[in-house]
Amino acid sequence: MPKAAAAARYMLAYLAWPLVFFSGLTGAYFGFASGHPMVAFAATYASAVLLLFLLERIIPYEEGWLQPDGETANDIAHTVLTKGLVELAALAGVIFPMLAAALLQPLAAMQFSLWPSSWPMLFQAGLAVVIAEFGLYWAHRIAHERLFFWRFHALHHSVTRLWVVNTGRFHVVDSLFKIALSQIPLYLLGAPLQVFWWLGAVTAFIGILTHCNVDMRTGLFDLVFSTPRLHRWHHSKDLREGNTNYGENVVLFDQLFGTYFNPDRPSSTDIGIKGQIAPGFVRQLAQPFTKDGVRQILGRHPKRG
Ligand SMILES: [Zn+2]
Ligand SMILES: [Zn+2]
């Protein structure tokens, strides 16, 4: 590679992560202040996805992951279903405290004053990310450590390539479990709607970054945020590497509870699970609900006869 091209590639590798994350949040900031916050946010998000899609072709982390795996349509279908239901759950969550507030006025007034609404939004959003992360961390860790929950989470780990499109490949039950554990504490504390928007923005941009197949150098960011490098270890087939880095946005609780993993070598490209995931979107949704389906997911032989 000519020297100038090598230097440009090196710079891009260091700039890519902060560029996507911070310009995404800047876009969200102006979007939320505009007359059409959701449309503006969706446009920012789509631009970030497109940019990562291009970067995956310019500086891929693993060339082999550019090849199709036959799961693209399923990845998109799971993403759309999960996102749709999460939106509905969020709406219900916003409406419910309002109803509760109207019905139980004195009690609600006391309870809802717990949230520090007078803080600058940056600090409120930071607090929300940490509070939500506690639920996200445990929901994710339980999904790996308890077979009952693994049956739903295995779908996410069944992929053999990581790229920007399979970020949102979650079984809908897996997603709802995560949302419940992470967002209910915020509703109970009375966090305002804007705080949920910001939490959603941080989760969206960190999320598409974790799966992107871009050769990014994240350096010190690895100590705080869930970066592509840390998340690739999390997808490793070797469970000593894989049962680590559960953080969704920040890795604070991995650091606290001893599951942080970031050895000084290139992160794993040998990813996937031992079991088998059914072919096709509807069968993938149904698989954790049948005995044979669960056996397949766990990599056990189906019962004969
Ligand atoms: Zn996982
Ligand atoms: Zn993942």
What does each of the 305 residues of the chain score in pLDDT, given as a tens digit? 678 888 988 999 999 999 999 999 999 999 999 988 888 999 999 999 999 999 999 999 999 999 999 999 999 999 988 888 777 776 666 566 556 555 555 555 555 568 999 999 999 999 999 999 999 999 999 999 999 999 999 999 999 999 999 999 999 999 989 988 998 899 889 898 899 999 999 999 999 999 999 999 999 999 999 999 999 999 999 999 999 999 999 999 999 999 999 999 999 899 999 999 999 999 999 999 999 999 999 988 766 54
- CA 103 to ligand 2 centroid distance, Å: 41
- Does residue 303 sit within a domain? no
- CA 61 to ligand 1 centroid distance, Å: 20
- CA 150 to ligand 1 centroid distance, Å: 9
- CA 9 to ligand 1 centroid distance, Å: 30
- CA 186 to ligand 1 centroid distance, Å: 23
Q: Which helix (H) or strand (E) holds 19?
A: helix 3-33
- Does residue 14 sit within a domain? yes
- Contact between residue 253 and residue 181 where contact means Cβ atoms under 8 Å apart: no
- Does residue 304 sit within a domain? no
Domain boundaries, position 258: 3-298
Residue for token digits 């953080």? 247
- Does residue 305 sit within a domain? no
How far apart, in whole angstroms, are the C-alpha atoms of residue 288 and residue 284?
8
- CA 3 to ligand 2 centroid distance, Å: 34
- Contact between residue 212 and residue 55 where contact means Cβ atoms under 8 Å apart: yes
DSSP helix/strand/coil, 271: strand
How far apart, in whole angstroms, are the C-alpha atoms of residue 208 and residue 132?
18
Q: Which ligand is nearest to the CA of 244?
A: 1
> Cα–Cα distances in Å, from 196 out to 108, 214, 287?
19, 29, 32
Q: Which ligand is nearest to the CA of 178?
A: 1
Q: How many beta carbons lie within 10 A of that of residue 119, not counting itself?
A: 12
Q: Which ligand is nearest to the CA of 153?
A: 1
- CA 247 to ligand 1 centroid distance, Å: 9
- Does residue 157 sit within a domain? yes
Cβ partners under 8 Å of residue 169, min gap 6: 71, 74, 75, 78, 79, 155, 156, 159
- Does residue 205 sit within a domain? yes
Q: Which ligand is nearest to the CA of 174?
A: 1
Instruction: Specify the number of domains making up the chain.
Output: 1
- Does residue 74 sit within a domain? yes
Name the pTM for this structure: 0.90
- Does residue 107 sit within a domain? yes
Q: Which ligand is nearest to the CA of 210?
A: 2
33 alpha carbon, distance to own chain's centre: 25
- CA 271 to ligand 1 centroid distance, Å: 12
How far apart, in whole angstroms, are the C-alpha atoms of residue 272 and residue 141?
17
Q: What angle do CA 210, 204, 67 make, to 5 degrees?
A: 45
